[in-house]
């Protein structure tokens, strides 16, 4: 049997990359970091795990599974927004 290689975790380096992943301006990403968003200083740069950021966003929004709204295509964005709204509405009932 062939061994599976471990999946490489996506690491975002620098405030612009972190902010782009979040779909927010750099100032918002920096403010969220002060409020507990998982980022680390590596030398002179800030880094963050895409997976940890998604989990943090889910915990902050109160939904069961991560909803990532910064997407390349509008189709994925619309589906994620609908799923997120459905979860929030179910929670508020």
Kindly list the distances between the CA atom of residue 33 and the CA atoms of 18, 22, 46, 48, 60, in Å, as whole numbers in the listed order.
10, 12, 10, 10, 13
Does 72 or 24 have the greater pLDDT score?
24
**At 57, is the pLDDT very low, low, confident or very high (cuts 50, 70, 90)?**
confident
Asked, for residue 77, whether it belongs to a domain, the answer is yes
CATH number, domain containing residue 87: 1.10.10
pLDDT tens digits, residue range 8-56? 678 999 999 999 998 889 999 999 999 899 999 999 999 999 989 988 8
User: What domain range is 31 assigned to?
Assistant: 11-92
Asked, for residue 87, whether it belongs to a domain, the answer is yes
Q: Is there a contact between 53 and 18 (Cβ–Cβ < 8 Å)?
A: yes
What letter would DSSP give residue 44? T
Asked, for residue 6, whether it belongs to a domain, the answer is no
Asked, for residue 85, whether it belongs to a domain, the answer is yes
Please give the tally of structural domains in the chain: 1
Place of tokens 């459905």: 86
What letter would DSSP give residue 36? T
Give me the torsion for CA of 70, 71, 73, 74, rounded to 10°: -40
């Amino acid at each position: 049997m062939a061994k599976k290689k471990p999946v490489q975790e996506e690491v975002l380096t620098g405030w612009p990359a972190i902010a782009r992943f979040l779909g927010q301006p750099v100032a918002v990403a920096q403010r969220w970091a002060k409020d507990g968003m998982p980022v680390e200083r590596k030398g002179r740069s800030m880094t963050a795990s895409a997976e940890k950021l998604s989990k943090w966003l889910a915990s902050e929004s109160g939904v069961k599974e991560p909803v990532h709204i910064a997407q390349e295509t509008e189709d994925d964005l619309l589906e994620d927004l609908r799923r997120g709204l459905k979860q929030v509405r179910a929670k508020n009932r």
